[in-house]
């Protein structure tokens, strides 16, 4: 497969093509890209609080709910509430069961769901695979106060309920109500649903209270598999609730390969890797270490819509509540060091809250003891998420502690972002590959436009189209239930003149203590050189090497470059190909990981101050600028930790030299924002 560079020149013809393509792309999006998959657009929580995101911004709607903690809901593809689930009216404290309301805010005739204890996020709803009328409600039950178990009930929207046979409002199926799935272990108050690969199947994730393990129950069109996949995280066990993960929330990222967990009794916050093909979890990193039982209480946790940032809400020290952010892009082992704390309040009453991302791109949370909510206005910015207190006002309803536990796996946010494929350039009479590989329908049918140019016009699977002129393709995905999930476009430009260098097989890997970069070209036109660029954050790159190009060539050529002694942690590399006339282009980014040393310097990038910590005694820390001048120099009294103020430093790269008592000197490179 060819990997083409992104051209960065002033070629007029190319610029005009880009302008025309962007115009056509915008027109296509305006005509076809309206998304009507609004399954999680209506929220119900707290006491009488209802919120709709159908208009793009939150609007209060009627609600009869009165839930101390978790709720859940399902809407149809047009944003109409089908049902919502929570505690019965008046049950604003622990226990007393869950009840199902229909879209008219009436209790379903058969809508009492067995549950008997506080439930953190132990309740959720999700469609039955392959069925347009039925939905699972998964709940953790504590019948009699001790028997924790996973149960499900099915809501059948074809049943009359409070409506009529002709206009049904749905009801709980009396045969499939409170069906026990699993009761072989005491389960924590946590449920999360995660899509399995790109299929309509999914995993129901729960975890043990007494043992450090997770259970993944697979759900397909044939039903719920009661035999779980077991992930043993560690041999730790908790004979009592002290230190156990019995309550608080779990969250899943957009890519469905990470699960985060807050443990209120742990108390700690952990990040796990998740294989959504096998259902297996493994510990990636401890983000907030074990605190003091009773005075430190992590509770809410949620990823930003992109999954690049994680937020945790926690009460600490017996009087202070924070929301902490973590930069997931730092990579496992370095994420904890990116932590930023944002004050929510100081009060002897724990003000911790649940957190839930919304269709408007923001994250909302409740706040124990307050009727209003808190809002993270810009959650993709972990350094400044714009925490608003007080945030959204759900009047006349009010928030309590709980938030909706919603399943995003069938929501557009979790669909492959480029169903139609990536925009591309090809040569005349060459073949363009459109569509995506290994894509399952997820109850959808497809339609390509122009259909006459596509061999399999009703198939999203990758297909090859021969072209001689520029073409825009449109792919629409329509669910079998009648809702438009997503429309996407791909622009194919036919012009070999835009490809002076064709690059293949650009790779970067660890070789002993160095990074080995290799790449090939199958053709070169006026190629002066390759500049190797390096970064520690994938955003700010510096030149670290150069390899001479071959000018003009129409044969396969191999290139190699070695980066001696790169930095600990994640190293990012890209190539900058430069023509003789100065025009240039960038390759894709490659990553090489090196294990952390005995010392760590964080955060990176840094803003106001930098921390040095590890298992070595620190003698002094010296900071050099990019031309080797000392800009900071501070001695430390053989401490295992050091801190330097960096607010006064200009933006750019710096070299940190840490001198230790017995183990010599260590060097780190940081970027100052």
DSSP string, 639-654: EEEEEEE-TTSPSEEE
Query: What are the beta bridge partners of residue 259?
Result: 252, 272
Q: Which of 32-41, 374-383, 421-430 has the lowest mean pLDDT?
A: 32-41
In a domain, 405, yes or no: yes
Q: Are residues 567 and 627 in the same domain?
A: no
Q: What pLDDT, on the 0 to 100 scale, is given for residue 62?
A: 95
- Using a cut of 0.75, tell me whether the model's pTM lies above it: no
Confidence band of 137 (pLDDT split at 50, 70, 90)? very high
CA dist., res. 545 & res. 573, Å (int): 11
Closest CA to 561 of 543, 538, 539: 543
Asked if 200 and 181 count as a contact pair (C-beta separation under 8 A), the reply is no
Closest CA to 143 of 167, 113, 169, 168: 113
Q: What pLDDT, on the 0 to 100 scale, is given for residue 34?
A: 30
Q: Are residues 337 and 275 in the same domain?
A: yes
Q: What pLDDT, on the 0 to 100 scale, is given for residue 404?
A: 95
**Pick from 472, 496, 520: which residue ends a domain?**
496
Q: 613 by DSSP, 3-state: which?
A: strand
Q: Are residues 650 and 546 in the same domain?
A: no
Q: Residue 462 sits in which domain range?
A: 3-34+423-496
Place of tokens 């020290």: 317
In a domain, 99, yes or no: yes
Asked if 464 and 499 count as a contact pair (C-beta separation under 8 A), the reply is no
Question: Is the model's pLDDT at 371 over the cut of 80?
Answer: yes
Q: Are residues 193 and 337 in the same domain?
A: yes
Q: What pLDDT, on the 0 to 100 scale, is given for residue 349?
A: 72
Q: Output the domain CATH number for residue 104.
A: 2.130.10.10
pLDDT in tens, 497-547: 545 677 878 999 988 778 999 999 888 888 899 999 998 877 778 888 999
Question: Is the model's pLDDT at 15 over the cut of 90?
Answer: no
Q: Are residues 27 and 48 in the same domain?
A: no
More confident residue, 271 or 120: 271
Asked if 378 and 386 count as a contact pair (C-beta separation under 8 A), the reply is yes
pLDDT in tens, 154-198: 999 999 999 999 999 999 999 999 899 998 898 999 999 998 887
In a domain, 107, yes or no: yes
Instruction: Collect all residues with Cβ–Cβ distance below 8 Å to 551 and sequence separation of at least 6.
Output: 524, 526, 527, 528, 580
Helix or strand (DSSP H, E) at 32? helix 12-32
CA dist., res. 126 & res. 469, Å (int): 45
**Token pair belonging to 536:** 């520690």
Q: What pLDDT, on the 0 to 100 scale, is given for residue 22?
A: 35
**Pick from 547, 577, 594: which residue ends a domain?**
594
Instruction: Collect all residues with Cβ–Cβ distance below 8 Å to 146 and sequence separation of at least 6.
Output: none
Asked if 325 and 376 count as a contact pair (C-beta separation under 8 A), the reply is no
Top mean pLDDT of 81-90, 435-444, 557-566 is at 557-566
Closest CA to 169 of 89, 97, 76: 76
Q: What pLDDT, on the 0 to 100 scale, is given for residue 444?
A: 74
Q: Output the domain CATH number for residue 431.
A: 2.60.40
Place of tokens 């990176």: 604
CA dist., res. 120 & res. 401, Å (int): 9
**Token pair belonging to 353:** 């809250």
Q: Are residues 465 and 333 in the same domain?
A: no
Q: Output the domain CATH number for residue 606.
A: 2.60.40.1220
Q: Are residues 135 and 262 in the same domain?
A: yes
**Pick from 410, 435, 458: which residue ends a domain?**
410
Q: Are residues 540 and 555 in the same domain?
A: yes
Give the chain's end-to-end CA distance (angstroms, integer).
Answer: 37
CA angle 217, 220, 222 (to 5 degrees): 115
Q: 413 by DSSP, 3-state: which?
A: helix
Q: 589 by DSSP, 3-state: which?
A: coil
Q: Output the domain CATH number for residue 536.
A: 2.60.40.10
Average pLDDT over residues 614-630: 83
Q: What pLDDT, on the 0 to 100 scale, is given for residue 27?
A: 33
Q: Are residues 427 and 541 in the same domain?
A: no
Asked if 634 and 642 count as a contact pair (C-beta separation under 8 A), the reply is yes
Q: Are residues 318 and 257 in the same domain?
A: yes
Asked if 364 and 53 count as a contact pair (C-beta separation under 8 A), the reply is no
Q: What pLDDT, on the 0 to 100 scale, is given for residue 1?
A: 28
Confidence band of 29 (pLDDT split at 50, 70, 90)? very low
Question: Is the model's pLDDT at 353 over the cut of 80?
Answer: yes
In a domain, 415, yes or no: no
In a domain, 293, yes or no: yes
Top mean pLDDT of 76-80, 205-209, 496-500, 662-666 is at 205-209
In a domain, 91, yes or no: yes
Confidence band of 409 (pLDDT split at 50, 70, 90)? low
In a domain, 418, yes or no: no
Instruction: Collect all residues with Cβ–Cβ distance below 8 Å to 111 and sequence separation of at least 6.
Output: 99, 100, 101, 102, 171, 172
In a domain, 584, yes or no: yes
CA dist., res. 94 & res. 109, Å (int): 24
Report the half-sphere exposure of 297 (CA within 13 A, side-chain side): 20
The gap from C-alpha 165 to its chain's centroid, in whole angstroms, comes to 41
Question: Is the model's pLDDT at 221 over the cut of 80?
Answer: yes
Q: Are residues 524 and 577 in the same domain?
A: yes
Q: What pLDDT, on the 0 to 100 scale, is given for residue 369?
A: 78
Instruction: Give percent of the chain with pLDDT exceeding 70.
Output: 85
Closest CA to 592 of 503, 513, 653: 513
Q: Are residues 582 and 617 in the same domain?
A: no
- What region, left, alpha or beta, does residue 614 occupy, with left being phi > 0 and alpha being psi -120 to 50 degrees? left
Q: What pLDDT, on the 0 to 100 scale, is given for residue 49?
A: 94
Question: Is the model's pLDDT at 136 over the cut of 80?
Answer: yes
Domain count, the chain: 4
Q: What pLDDT, on the 0 to 100 scale, is given for residue 50?
A: 96
Question: Is the model's pLDDT at 13 over the cut of 70?
Answer: no
């Amino acid at each position: 497969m060819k990997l083409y560079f992104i051209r960065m020149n002033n070629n007029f013809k190319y610029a005009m093509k880009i302008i025309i393509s962007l115009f056509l792309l915008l027109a296509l999006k305006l005509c076809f890209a309206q998304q009507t998959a609004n399954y999680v657009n209506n929220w119900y929580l707290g006491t009488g609080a209802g919120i709709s995101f159908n208009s793009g911004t939150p609007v209060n709607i009627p609600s009869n709910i009165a839930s101390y903690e978790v709720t859940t809901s399902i809407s149809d593809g047009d944003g109409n509430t089908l049902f919502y689930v929570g505690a019965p009216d008046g049950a604003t404290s622990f226990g007393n069961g869950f009840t199902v309301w229909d879209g008219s805010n009436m209790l379903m005739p058969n809508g009492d769901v067995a549950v008997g204890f506080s439930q953190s996020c132990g309740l959720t709803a999700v469609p039955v695979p392959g069925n347009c009328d039925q939905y699972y409600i998964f709940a953790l039950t504590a019948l009699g106060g001790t028997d924790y178990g996973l149960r499900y009930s099915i809501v059948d929207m074809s049943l009359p309920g409070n409506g009529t046979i002709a206009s049904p409002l749905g009801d709980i199926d009396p045969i499939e109500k409170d069906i026990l799935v699993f009761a072989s272990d005491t389960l924590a108050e946590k449920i999360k649903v995660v899509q399995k690969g790109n299929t309509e199947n999914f995993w129901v994730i729960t975890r043990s209270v007494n043992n450090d393990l997770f259970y993944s129950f697979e759900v397909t069109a044939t039903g719920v598999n009661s035999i779980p996949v077991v992930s043993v995280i560690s041999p730790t066990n908790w004979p009592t609730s002290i230190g156990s993960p019995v309550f608080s929330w779990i969250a899943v990222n957009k890519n469905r390969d990470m699960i985060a967990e807050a443990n209120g009794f742990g108390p700690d916050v952990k990040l796990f890797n998740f294989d959504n093909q096998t259902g297996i979890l493994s510990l990636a990193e401890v983000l907030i270490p074990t605190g003091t039982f009773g005075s430190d209480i992590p509770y809410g946790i949620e990823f930003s819509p992109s999954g690049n940032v994680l937020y945790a809400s926690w009460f600490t020290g017996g009087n202070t509540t924070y929301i902490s952010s973590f930069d997931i892009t730092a990579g496992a082992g370095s994420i904890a060091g990116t932590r930023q704390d944002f004050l929510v309040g100081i009060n002897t009453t724990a003000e911790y809250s649940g957190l839930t991302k919304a269709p408007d791109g923001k994250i909302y949370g409740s706040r124990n003891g307050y009727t209003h909510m808190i809002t993270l206005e810009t959650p993709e910015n972990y350094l400044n998420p714009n925490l608003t207190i007080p945030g959204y006002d759900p009047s006349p309803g009010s928030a309590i502690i709980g938030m909706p536990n919603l399943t995003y796996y069938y929501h557009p946010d979790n669909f492959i972002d480029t169903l139609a494929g990536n925009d591309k350039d090809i040569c005349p009479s060459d073949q363009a590959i459109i569509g995506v590989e290994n894509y399952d329908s997820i109850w959808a049918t497809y339609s390509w436009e122009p259909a006459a140019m596509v061999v399999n016009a009703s198939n999203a699977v990758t297909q090859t189209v021969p072209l001689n002129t520029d073409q825009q393709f449109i792919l629409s995905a329509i669910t079998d239930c009648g809702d438009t999930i997503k429309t996407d476009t791909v622009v194919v430009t036919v012009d070999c003149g835009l490809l002076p260098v064709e690059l293949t097989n650009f790779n970067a890997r660890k070789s002993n203590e160095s990074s080995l970069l290799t790449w090939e070209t199958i053709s070169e036109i006026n190629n002066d050189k390759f500049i190797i660029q390096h970064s520690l954050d994938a955003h700010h790159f510096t030149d670290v090497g150069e390899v001479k190009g071959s000018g003009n060539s129409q044969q396969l050529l191999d290139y190699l470059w070695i980066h001696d002694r790169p930095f600990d942690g994640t190293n990012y590399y890209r190539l900058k190909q430069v023509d003789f006339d100065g025009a240039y282009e960038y390759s894709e980014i490659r990553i090489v990981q090196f294990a952390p040393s005995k010392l760590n310097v964080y955060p990176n990038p840094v803003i106001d101050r930098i921390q040095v910590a590890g298992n070595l005694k620190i003698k002094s820390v010296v900071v050099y600028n990019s031309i080797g001048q000392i800009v900071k120099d501070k001695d430390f009294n053989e401490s295992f930790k050091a801190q330097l103020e960096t607010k006064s430093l200009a933006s750019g790269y710096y070299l940190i030299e840490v001198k230790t008592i017995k183990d010599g000197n260590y060097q780190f490179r940081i970027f100052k924002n």
